[in-house]
Amino acid sequence: MKHHFLQIENLKKSYPGPDKDSELVIFENANFTIDKGEFVCVIGHSGCGKSTILNILAGLDEASDGIVIMDGKEISGPSLERGVVFQNYSLLPWRTALQNVTFGVQARWPEWSKDKVQEHSLRFLELVGLKGAEDRKPSQLSGGMRQRVSIARAFATQPQLLLMDEPFGALDALTRGVIQEELIKIWEESKQTVFMITHDVDEAILLADRILLMTNGPKARIAESVKVSIPRPRKRTEIIHHQDYYKIRNHLVDFLVDRSKQDITVLNPKDASPKIIDLAS
C-alpha cells in the first residue's frame, strides 16, 4: 500500500440523538488521503460536516470513530504542525496586524530573537500585500485585510498541513478574487499541503489539485475525488478557456444539484474510498 502524507481512515462523527441510545450520525466511513504538497478542496452542502472534519484534523474536535494519520503518526490534539485559518479570521483584537503574526511565529520558534521573529513576520505580511498596515489593529482593517493577516499568520508558522475553513466565505467577490491570487502566490512559494473547505465551485477549480465531494448529511460520505487537470500556474481569467474547465465545473455542479442528495449505498463501506474521477481529455 502506498504511503500517503495524510491518511483519514473510517472517520465518523456522531452526537447523542434525541432519545437515549440513538445517535445522530453527521458523517461516517470517511476515507481519503492527501499527499505532500497537494492542495485539496472539499465541497458539500451546508451542514454536511465539512467544518467538523476540519476541526478533527486540527485536533480541536474529537472523532467518534476512525483515525487520522499524518506522516505515519496518529494525530491527537492540536499541533503547530497543523495550522488553521478560520472563517471568522480569529485575530486577537488587542494585537496589531504584525503582532498577530508574531504571535504564531513566537509560538512556533520560541528560541528565535525578537528581531528575527519581527523580520520573518513582516515578510509574510508583505507577501499578502499588507506592507504599511502592520501597525493597525484588526478593528481598523477591512474584512479582506483581516483574512490576509490570518493567512499570513498561518503560512508564517510553516505548518506541515494547512487547514482552511471557508476562508473567503465572508468576502465580496472582488476582494475574494484578489486574495485567491495572493493565496496561490504564497502557496506556490511555500509548497504547503493544504486542506481547504469552500462552497464556491470556481474557487475550488482555481486553487485545488483535487476536489473532494461530500454528500448531504446526516450520514454524509465523501463520495468522489475529482482531479483538476488544469496546468499551473493558473489565472482566474485564463482557466475558463481551458478545455477541461467546463467539464469539471459541470461535473461538480451536477453533483451538488443532484447526486449529493442520493443515498449512495456501498457494498463494503469500511474501505469505501471516494470514487476517483479524472475528466482530463
Partner 1 sequence: MLKSLKVKSALLSIIFLVILLGIWEGANQAPTDTKPLTEYEMLMGGASQEARVPPPSEVIELGFKELSDPFYDAGPNDKGIGIQLGYSIYRVMVGFLLAAAIAIPIGFLIGMSPLMYNALNPFIQVLRPISPLAWMPLALFIIKDSEISAIFVIFICSIWPMLINTAFGVANVRKDWINVARTHQLSPLQTAMQVILPAAAPTILTGMRISIGIAWLVIVAAEMLVGGTGIGYYVWNEWNNLDLASVIFSIFMIGVIGMLLDMMLAYAARWVTYQE
Ligand X SMILES: Nc1ncnc2c1ncn2[C@@H]1O[C@H](COP(=O)(O)OP(=O)(O)O)[C@@H](O)[C@H]1O
Instruction: Give the footprint of ligand X on this chain (CB under 6 A).
Output: 15, 24, 26, 44, 46-52, 217
Between 51 and 225, name the residue whose CB sits nearer to Mg ion. Answer: 51
**Residue 1 corresponds to which amino acid?**
M
- Cell numbers 478574487 correspond to what residue? 177
The site map against partner 1 for 142-161 (x = CB under 8 A) is ---------------x----
Query: How many amino acids of this chain bind Mg ion (CB under 5 A)?
Result: 1
Spatial CB neighbours of 256, under 8 Å, sequence gap ≥ 6: 43, 44, 45, 201, 213
Q: Is 90 near partner 1 (CB under 8 A)?
A: yes
- Phi and psi, residue 57, nearest 5°: -60, -35
Q: Does 247 bind partner 1 (CB under 8 A)?
A: no
- Find the binder of partner 1 among 24, 67, 92, 253 (CB under 8 A): 92
Asked if 225 touches Mg ion (CB under 5 A), the answer is no
Based on the shown chain and the rule CB under 8 A, indicate whether residue 103 belongs to the binding site for partner 1: yes
The set of residues, in sequence order, having a beta carbon less than 8 Å from that of 257 and lying 6+ positions away, is: none
Chosen residue from 7, 29, 33, 51 binding Mg ion by CB under 5 A: 51
Q: What is the DSSP letter of 49?
A: S
Q: CB-based contacts of 254: which residues, under 8 Å, 6+ apart?
A: none
Select from 103, 96, 148 the least CA-distant residue to 125.
Answer: 148
94 binds partner 1 per the rule CB under 8 A: yes
> Residue holding cell 503582532?
99
- When asked if residue 82 is in the footprint of partner 1 (CB under 8 A), the reply is yes
C-alpha to C-alpha distance for 152 and 156, rounded to whole angstroms:
6
Total number of residues that touch partner 1 (CB under 8 A)? 22
Options 18-26, 50-58, 67-75, 227-235: segment touching Mg ion (CB under 5 A): 50-58
Taking the least distance from each CB to Mg ion, the nearer of 96 and 198 is 198
**Cβ of residue 36: shortest distance to ligand X, in angstroms?**
26
- How far does CA 192 lie from the centroid of its chain? 11
CA 211 vs CA 78, 119, 181, 223: distances in Å? 25, 35, 18, 11
Spatial separation of the C-alpha atoms in residues 240 and 256, rounded to whole Å: 20
Indicate whether 78 belongs to the interface with partner 1 (CB under 8 A): yes
Q: By CB under 8 A, tell whether 117 contacts partner 1.
A: no
**Least Å distance between CB 94 and partner 1?**
4
Dihedral angle of Cα 136, 139, 140, 144, to the nearest 10 degrees: 100
CB of 198 to Mg ion, least distance (A): 10
Which positions touch Mg ion (CB under 5 A)? 51
Which positions touch partner 1 (CB under 8 A)? 58-60, 78-80, 82-84, 86, 88, 90, 92-94, 103-104, 107-108, 137, 139, 157
